[in-house]
Structure 1
Amino acid sequence: MSSSVICTDLSHTWPDGTSAFTGLTVTFPPGVTGLIGANGSGKTTLLRLLTSTLQPTRGSISVPGPVAVLPQNLTTRTGTRVAQVLGIEQTLAALAAVERGQVTPQHLETIGQDWDVEQRAHALLADLGLDGLPLDTEVAALSGGQAVLLHLAALLLARPGVLLLDEPTNNLDHPARQRVARALAGWRHGVCVVVSHDRDLLESVDRIAELHQGRITVHGGGFSSYEQALATQQAAAQQALRTAEADERRQHRDLTQAQHSVAKRRKQGARAGENMPKILAGARRRAAQKSAGKLTGLHQQRLEAARHARRQAEEAVREEDPVIRLDLPATTVPAGRSVARLREVVLPHTGARVDLDIYGPQRVALLGDNGTGKTTLLRVLAGDLEPEQGVVEVPVPVRLLPQRLDLLDPDRSVAGNVAAAAPGLGDNRVRAGLARLGFAGRRADQPAGSLSGGEALRASLAVVLLAEPAPQLLMLDEPTNNLDLAGVEHLAAALRTYRGALIVVSHDQRFLTDLHPTRRLRLNHTLSDVDG
């Protein structure tokens, strides 16, 4: 069996008849491959096919050995302990029995070659920032980021033949992201496919595989190498399109001139034939028509060929994603106006103490390690959660965009969701607002349940921004988790134009830099300003 994952002539059609892929062929060799693509391009569908949770309509998949998966949304049974997640609970029990002198064939079979499994488990946990974590700890006591790292450790410890990771750095702080990148950079135990929009992580992979319009193109090296190759390719495609358009115009001009020439000769022939015998005139007319038909037919063939070449050139040039625009006058906050005031606030769960003043149209980046209470602080500001003690004053309309994007009713259209949040806005204003967020025309009538991750984010933004009254304090909790790379750039550009006060929680350092925050706050046991 090959040591690579091989997909041959792979096709998958959904029950409604739409196709995810048609004739997809790709090989994932040993090492780490970063799988990228626009929202809705089919990355998750491909992973589900590789894990056999979906079956292809046509084609075949060859997989070398067992497949292990780290899903984007983890679920863990209540009461599960660290050793259980790592898959070493029975081995540890057998080792403990042997240490007590209870050596049985069953214990030896359970242990196999894993006499040092406890030491390897602790070393791997330490590499991922979970140093000193007791193996009998209940997973429920861990933060979301720690749980992701624990499950990743379990997969790395098992050393499967095929490892599939779906957005493994979502919700992780910067140090944890770096640890994941280091762990994967040293992974050489088989095929690893990582779906991610984390540029730093993608920089450390062996190759980039881009899924675009149902086809996969593989580029050697990390994300920077891919960007350079794509830029060169698109420059060539733009030049080819300009050449094809010029040729089409030229062929159209030549055809028009030929048609004028034929029409002119017909008139001249008709006048000359008036004094000829009918038989001779008819023969000359038929010969002229045959010659004219060949001439115009040749030019028409050339024009059709030029049109075909132009259409092919257009397909090679990538369309720009819908640009998000947040120029909403109702959200404008004058400079110096207080939008939030917290005094001696103690956050629930973490016990962090917060004193905070936010004024005018500040763009605030809220930083902090996993589990410090950033989401809790946003919920307190939004009025969704009461502090344990202290005073919270938010004198302006406020809206929170949560991580899980659970604001949308999946059975309603995008426009219907916005209308429910802003019943007094009217259909014309709802659709005008949606057009600014990339939902023009019929796109506003899509069911929310059919949206891709990036579309769901933009639809949720519409619900938040167009709600009545419009928010003058907008808070976003990890908004880039559901966006492709182009979408992250567009969101940052849009938020730079937002006229209200803004608080963004994100572990995506590139996104925060592109946001140009006017203020950075770090939440630990207290809240403090960060220089630079």
Structure 2
Amino acid sequence: MTHSTCVTLEGVSYHLPNGNSLFSHLDLHLDQRRTGLIGRNGAGKSVLARLIAGDITPSTGRCLRHGTVHYLAQTISQEPGRTVTDLAGVRSVICALERIERGSSEQADFDCVGERWNLRQQLLDQLSQHQLTHITLQTPVTALSGGEAMRVALMGAFLSNADLLILDEPTNHQDHDNRLALHEQLKEWPNGLLVISHDRDLLEHMERIVELSSLGLTSYGGGYSFYAQAHARHQQAAQQQLQSVRHERKREERSLREQRERLERRQARGHKQASDTNQAKILLDRQKERSQTSSGKLLRQQDIAREALSARVREVASLVETQNTIFVYPPEPRHNTSLKVAELIDARLPQGDSSLRTVNLTLTRGQRIALLGANGCGKSTLLKLLAGQIPAESGHVQTYVQAAYLDQHLSVLSAEHSVFEQLRSLNRRLDESELRTRLAQLGLCADRINLPCSQLSGGERLKGAMACVLYAQQPTQLLLLDEPANHLDLPSIHALETMLNAYTGTFVVTSHDERLLAAIGITHRLQASPSGWLSTAVHPSEHNRSSL
């Protein structure tokens, strides 16, 4: 099956203002296939998207566009004065329609509208279909929640009818139902599509995955599961090839060493024979010179051979990704810990849906609870209540153990202080070298743990926060996590899963990522419903579902 090309990249490179190269020599054809773009945070995915959209130009190479491109960034601008029409990208068309309705005959207005005479009604219909009838075209962007703003921006993206639609992390801030609705919309999108995402369920719906790494762009057919399997096979093959060339280098170096030793033995015998036969000094000097020339030539040849072997090893090693294996130390035995962790009896939340304001809940040791529900139903409020950050309006709230609340911004960490400083303040019993070792085994590099947390990536900050939970002198026994995977790349999500699986306390987590929940062994689901909060136990067989 052939696909018409929307965008072609030829030898594209992009250099940062400091002169460093973000990526180089990228070649890519984007057509009508649904394509997922993945890569570590900082690899340059969003920059590449802006380059494809024409917002910025490449440092070298060229980007050829065949048709229109609509780019939806992951960060929604909330500048004062912007309205829903700005967010949806239709303000100029709506304003032109209004001028025409008032009697304008300007050709520029008709050119702006083109064939989009029903655009205003289409947007209103979209708002109605998404249960956003409280939003008008004049509603300020600042009045919208993060989820509402993204949904409105997505409406404008779909109404653009662009030849290539680029969506950067479109499921951020979206609840489960809205994620499913987006999946269906993307299935029906008839034109080219490029989705930048770490959402594995969304990536599963793609027809191919393209990975941006230090090696450039690598394309894999199929969705995320196909990518994960193919990527694992490629890495295994690269590891085997690396072992093979290293073995070859070792064998060749041994051969070169033996060759040199044979030459040295021959030279030694020659010198002895010449000395025993009392040859003239001039003859001895000539023989010595010839021997040194021969030896020097051999050494140069061997140096060239060694460099060629080392270059081959470096070339193959570049194909092997650096894998930071996460190791979590088992917790020390706890004494006199309470079986009952927290208790809420007729606790009245200060905000949320009326049917969900009253909560009755008992948490016990070792429970792993997924707190589920639509955005705005009160999940974060309930976590803050359990953490003691806000009081209940009425009823009984009691927490029997030490709790830690990790919100979406990881506010538990001080932005001005380093991870090491903060962990050291929480644990004076372990010496500094032991704490550094433990941070390293969580995948935190030695040159990063002494930086202010404000300079760390989202994944690094999450690991730092988890280190403070896991390795405090008084370990947290109740961990409360609010959308912990938001803005994390795939390696960081896998690290989070590893750390939560090693955690032996009780935790409550809000997340719309079903693969994450399946991977961390959830024991109970606390679901928001029209009749209140409903708790159900998770069957053990569900723990076997893997997060690819």
Give, in whole Å, the separation in 2 of the partners of 1:92 and 1:49.
Answer: 28
User: Pairwise mapping of residues 383-394 of structure 1 onto structure 2 (< 5 A)?
Assistant: 383-394=388-399
Shift of 1:473: 0.6
Give, in whole Å, the separation in 1 of the partners of 2:137 and 2:335.
Answer: 51
Return closer, same or farther for 1:24/1:432 CA change in 2, 3 Å cut-off.
Answer: same
User: Which residue of structure 2 aligns with residue 248 of structure 1?
Assistant: 249
User: Which residue of structure 1 aligns with residue 318 of structure 2?
Assistant: 315
Give, in whole Å, the separation in 1 of the partners of 2:399 and 2:343.
Answer: 6
User: Which residue of structure 2 aligns with residue 219 of structure 1?
Assistant: 220
Shift of 1:299: 3.9
Shift of 1:496: 1.1
Q: Which amino acid aligns with 1:187?
A: W
Q: What is the DSSP-based 3-state SS (H/G/I as helix, E as strand, rest coil) of the residue aligned with 1:479? A: coil
Shift of 1:21: 2.4
User: Which residue of structure 2 aligns with residue 489 of structure 1?
Assistant: 494
Q: Which amino acid aligns with 1:156?
A: F
Question: In the TM superposition, what whole-angstrom CA distance separates every residue of 1:116-160 from its partner, at most 9, and x where no partner exists?
Answer: 335533554577x44766646946776543332222111111224
Give, in whole Å, the separation in 1 of the partners of 2:114 and 2:364.
Answer: 63
Alignment partner of 1:210 is 2:215 = no
Q: Which amino acid aligns with 2:512?
A: H
Greater alpha carbon shift after TM alignment, 56-65 vs 345-354: 56-65
Give, in whole Å, the separation in 1 of the partners of 2:398 and 2:446.
Answer: 40
Give, in whole Å, the separation in 2 of the partners of 1:83 and 1:413.
Answer: 43
Alignment partner of 1:303 is 2:306 = yes
Shift of 1:401: 0.8
Give, in whole Å, the separation in 1 of the partners of 2:59 and 2:99.
Answer: 50
User: Which residue of structure 2 aligns with residue 381 of structure 1?
Assistant: 386
User: Gaps spanning 5+ residues in structure 2: where?
Assistant: 539-548
Q: Which amino acid aligns with 1:329?
A: E
User: Which residue of structure 1 aligns with residue 233 of structure 2?
Assistant: 232
Return closer, same or farther for 1:90/1:424 CA change in 2, 3 Å cut-off.
Answer: same
User: Which residue of structure 2 aligns with residue 459 of structure 1?
Assistant: 464
Instruction: Tell whether the 8 Å contact from 2:37 to 2:211 is kept in structure 1 after alignment.
Output: yes
Q: Which amino acid aligns with 1:514?
A: A
Q: Which amino acid aligns with 1:152?
A: L
Shift of 1:212: 0.6
Give, in whole Å, the separation in 1 of the partners of 2:62 and 2:44.
Answer: 17
Alignment partner of 1:3 is 2:6 = yes
Instruction: Tell whether the 8 Å contact from 1:321 to 1:487 is kept in structure 2 after alignment.
Output: no
Q: What is the DSSP-based 3-state SS (H/G/I as helix, E as strand, rest coil) of the residue aligned with 1:340? A: strand
User: Pairwise mapping of residues 83-232 of structure 1 onto structure 2 (< 5 A)?
Assistant: 85-86=87-88, 105=105, 109=110, 112-117=114-119, 120-121=122-123, 124-125=126-127, 129-130=130-131, 135=136, 138=139, 143-190=145-192, 192-213=193-214, 215-232=216-233
Q: Which amino acid aligns with 1:308?
A: A
Work out which of the residue numbers 368, 372, 377 in structure 1 matches 2:377: 372
Give, in whole Å, the separation in 2 of the partners of 1:28 and 1:335.
Answer: 57
Q: What is the DSSP-based 3-state SS (H/G/I as helix, E as strand, rest coil) of the residue aligned with 1:404? A: coil
Return closer, same or farther for 1:326/1:401 CA change in 2, 3 Å cut-off.
Answer: farther
Instruction: Tell whether the 8 Å contact from 1:339 to 1:360 is kept in structure 2 after alignment.
Output: yes
User: Gaps spanning 5+ residues in structure 1: where?
Assistant: none
User: Which residue of structure 2 aligns with residue 527 of structure 1?
Assistant: 533
Instruction: Tell whether the 8 Å contact from 2:210 to 2:219 is kept in structure 1 after alignment.
Output: yes
Greater alpha carbon shift after TM alignment, 232-241 vs 287-296: 287-296
Q: Which amino acid aligns with 1:226?
A: Y
**RMSD of aligned residue pairs (Cα, Å):** 3.6
Shift of 1:180: 1.2
Shift of 1:211: 0.9
TM-score (norm 1): 0.86
User: Pairwise mapping of residues 361-440 of structure 1 onto structure 2 (< 5 A)?
Assistant: 361-419=366-424, 427-428=432-433, 430-440=435-445
Shift of 1:499: 1.8
Greater alpha carbon shift after TM alignment, 80-89 vs 197-206: 80-89
Q: Which amino acid aligns with 2:232?
A: A
Give, in whole Å, the separation in 2 of the partners of 1:48 and 1:422.
Answer: 45
User: Which residue of structure 2 aligns with residue 47 of structure 1?
Assistant: 49
Give, in whole Å, the separation in 2 of the partners of 1:333 and 1:194.
Answer: 50
Q: Which amino acid aligns with 2:465?
A: S
Return closer, same or farther for 1:524/1:77 CA change in 2, 3 Å cut-off.
Answer: farther
Give, in whole Å, the separation in 1 of the partners of 2:385 and 2:142.
Answer: 23
Q: What is the DSSP-based 3-state SS (H/G/I as helix, E as strand, rest coil) of the residue aligned with 1:313? A: helix
Instruction: Tell whether the 8 Å contact from 1:326 to 1:494 is kept in structure 2 after alignment.
Output: no
User: Pairwise mapping of residues 249-268 of structure 1 onto structure 2 (< 5 A)?
Assistant: 249-268=250-269
Shift of 1:9: 3.2
Shift of 1:356: 0.3
Greater alpha carbon shift after TM alignment, 249-258 vs 44-53: 44-53
Shift of 1:210: 0.8
Give, in whole Å, the separation in 2 of the partners of 1:97 and 1:11.
Answer: 42
Q: Report the identity percentage.
A: 33
Give, in whole Å, the separation in 1 of the partners of 2:342 and 2:10.
Answer: 54
Return closer, same or farther for 1:421/1:151 CA change in 2, 3 Å cut-off.
Answer: farther
- State the structure with bigger RCO (CA 8 A, min sep 6), 1 or 2: 1
Give, in whole Å, the separation in 2 of the partners of 1:277 and 1:93.
Answer: 106
Question: In the TM superposition, what whole-angstrom CA distance separates every residue of 1:144-191 from its partner, at most 9, and x where no partner exists?
Answer: 43332222111111224543322111232233212212212322344x
Instruction: Tell whether the 8 Å contact from 2:88 to 2:154 is kept in structure 1 after alignment.
Output: no
Give, in whole Å, the separation in 2 of the partners of 1:443 and 1:93.
Answer: 50
Q: What is the DSSP-based 3-state SS (H/G/I as helix, E as strand, rest coil) of the residue aligned with 1:193? A: strand
TM-score (norm 2): 0.84
Shift of 1:531: 4.4
Return closer, same or farther for 1:262/1:237 CA change in 2, 3 Å cut-off.
Answer: same
Give, in whole Å, the separation in 2 of the partners of 1:267 and 1:102.
Answer: 105
Instruction: Tell whether the 8 Å contact from 1:472 to 1:500 is kept in structure 2 after alignment.
Output: yes
Instruction: Tell whether the 8 Å contact from 1:14 to 1:20 is kept in structure 2 after alignment.
Output: no
User: Which residue of structure 1 aligns with residue 74 of structure 2?
Assistant: 72
Return closer, same or farther for 1:269/1:349 CA change in 2, 3 Å cut-off.
Answer: same
The count of corresponding residues between Structure 1 and Structure 2 is: 526
Instruction: Tell whether the 8 Å contact from 2:9 to 2:29 is kept in structure 1 after alignment.
Output: yes
Shift of 1:12: 1.5
Question: In the TM superposition, what whole-angstrom CA distance separates every residue of 1:204-235 from its partner, at most 9, and x where no partner exists?
Answer: 22322211116122223322332233233223
